[in-house]
Amino acid sequence: MTPLSFKRHRFPAEVIRHAVWLYFRFSLSLRDVEELLAARGIDVSSETIRCWTIKFGPQIARRLKRLLRNQSVEPERIVTDGLRSYPAVLEELGLGHLHSPGRLRENSRAENSHLPIRRRERQQQLFKSQASAQRFLTTHAAIYNTFYTQRHLVSRPTLRRFRAGADEAWVAATA
């Protein structure tokens, strides 16, 4: 993997990496990132941060996807609602044997899994175009999923290992 080139940028690579990471990891506004960096003594405009996220965000997301593709994680079962299109698609993907159409409470779990997406959609309502919202969401998903762990499901030492692994993947993707 060729390293990301931060040449011809006024700020050091560490500052650019951190700004991009803050923006996509925590769904912050550009002004929020600007204020967080200002609190650390780094004077950068929100427009500069916007340029960095447009330039480096998709590159980092592609690198993270490539790094994480080699991890073999397969679902034990896939719970969906009763919509007839799900079994056809899962058969096409070779995952039909894992499909379990949800009944009553099982389906509630599947429906609730959409909540982070809904929260992100509400945050993105102020985008000027669908293309800019889509560009943000695809990049945000790759970066957010790398760092997000369900803290209530794992012990503290395991959480520390997950965070360390996510940080290593970030360093590898932004190198």
Whole-angstrom distance between the N-terminal and C-terminal Cα of the chain? 9
Measure the CA–CA gap between 146 and 61, rounded to whole angstroms.
10
What pLDDT, on the 0 to 100 scale, is given for residue 13?
A: 93
In a domain, 26, yes or no: yes
Q: Among 27-41, 43-57, 82-96, whose mean pLDDT is lowest?
A: 82-96
What pLDDT, on the 0 to 100 scale, is given for residue 80?
A: 77
Overall average pLDDT of the 133-144 stretch: 80
What pLDDT, on the 0 to 100 scale, is given for residue 21?
A: 92
What letter represents residue 139's amino acid?
T
Measure the CA–CA gap between 174 and 13, rounded to whole angstroms.
9
**How many domains does the chain contain in total?**
1
pLDDT at 109 over 60: no
In a domain, 71, yes or no: yes
In a domain, 104, yes or no: no
- DSSP state, residue 38: H
In a domain, 149, yes or no: yes
Domain that holds residue 21: 13-75+127-174
What pLDDT, on the 0 to 100 scale, is given for residue 49?
A: 94
Measure the CA–CA gap between 124 and 134, rounded to whole angstroms.
9
In a domain, 67, yes or no: yes
